[in-house]
Structure 1
């Protein structure tokens, strides 16, 4: 078991960093910190390999923290059919003028 700190990105919605609570962001590369933006602390939690998380396996998070010093959870991919919600209806490619 490891106590993890979870941070969310100030730049990317639904992007999170999991790190060892004792180390915090010390082992996260500077380039990743720059891309991630301000790391906003969300919570601390005990994590075991068999713990189920919403989008990833606990064992994978623990393995990456042990080897790299962090686990980066990327935002989920958007479904193609949902992308119409993000299009501007006044633009020609939307099919309406």
Structure 2
């Protein structure tokens, strides 16, 4: 399954995976406020065997099939010691 990954200009390390390149029609307006003028990062071929750094590939694939997109939010900030 191909997907297309975009980076938010407003939120560091927030990414949006799309089923179709440049097709944001399935993404809710509330979420799109973080992806005004998104930056295309790259195209990726997903398979169940592929490992992703911060996401479960099977969940990403399911979200793409069911919703047309997958949000990878910012990682939690570590508490300052």
TM-score normalised over the length of structure 2: 0.88
Q: Which runs of 4+ in 1 moved over 6 A?
A: none
Question: Which residue does the alignment assign to 1:79?
Answer: 78
Matches for 1:30-41 after TM superposition, within 5 Å: 30-41=29-40
- Structure 1 alignment gaps of length 5 or more: 83-97
TM-score normalised over the length of structure 1: 0.75
Give the number of the structure whose residues are more often helix, by fraction.
1
Question: Which residue does the alignment assign to 1:70?
Answer: 69
Question: Which residue does the alignment assign to 1:18?
Answer: 17
Q: Which structure has the higher relative contact order (CA within 8 Å, separation 6+)? A: 2
Q: How many residue pairs get matched?
A: 81
Deviation of 1:21 (Å):
2.7
Residue 5 in structure 1 maps to residue 4 in structure 2:
yes
Please give the root-mean-square deviation of Cα atoms over the aligned residues, in Å. Answer: 1.6
